[in-house]
Amino acid sequence: MRQFVVIAHEAPADGNFTLNDLAGAGRIDLLCRCVNSALLLSHAVRENVRLHIVVDDTVAIEIDGSTVRHLHPDERSIAARLQNALQAAEEAIGYQPVESAPGIKTYRLGVAETLDRIEAGTIIQLHEDGTPIVEQEPPADPIFVLADHQSVTDTEQTLLDTHCDQRITLGPQAIHADQAITVANNYLDTEGFTQY
């Protein structure tokens, strides 16, 4: 299984935002595109992917490609799903999530607890100073960790240093988080592709 963990710094953890200004709502637009990039193919869902969005180090939304339904690719419809998930958070208690829709669960957990909770795999920080991804054999169950439009804080980096098994860069350009997820997915898709 592939997993992505996106650390969101400014998105409102209470889901209090308007769908008419997603960029102004702590860059919810970016998180919506991360959902799209992680989980959607053309006319299909990536059933082998789980995405975790940790908002404000207090709320974690998990979207599971194998069970999520009716996920559309545009930002506005995804934002409505995230808003529902965030607003459901008050019903969640730590490791006991609330499921706001099939395949979408909300936990009251931060980054550290999320990395502890999720299914095991090789935890990989996407980082500009990492090893080029093309030089690294992809692990069987990668868990890519990346931040939204802001860099990880020093506190978060200290945490990631203790949790991450690898640090990888996708290229010489600093790209958006959603673009990075698209590239990582493609890299895993095409592993061995030339052999077919």
| Contact footprint for a copy of itself (CB under 8 A) | 19-23, 29-30, 33, 36-37, 40-44, 72-77, 132, 134-135, 149, 170-176, 179, 182-183, 185-186, 189-190, 193-194, 196
> Which of residues 96 and 190 has its CB atom nearest to a copy of itself in the complex?
190
**By C-beta, is 42 or 162 nearer to a copy of itself?**
42
Nearest-approach distance from CB 89 to a copy of itself, in angstroms: 24
Axis crossing angle, helix 177-190 with helix 28-39, rounded to the nearest 10: 10
CB neighbours of 78 closer than 8 A, spacing ≥ 6? Answer: 32, 35, 36, 71, 72
Please identify, using beta-carbon distances, which residue of 55 and 60 lies nearer to a copy of itself.
Answer: 55
User: Could you tell me the smallest distance in angstroms from the CB atom of residue 98 to a copy of itself?
Assistant: 27
* Minimum CB–partner distance for residue 35 and a copy of itself (Å): 12
Q: Which of 60, 64, 165, 171 is nearest to 107 (CA)?
A: 60
Q: Which is nearer to a copy of itself, 39 or 88 (CB)?
A: 39
CB burial of 3-41 (b: ≥16 within 10 Å; e: otherwise) equals bbbbbbbebebebebeeeebeebbbbbbbbbbbbbbbbe
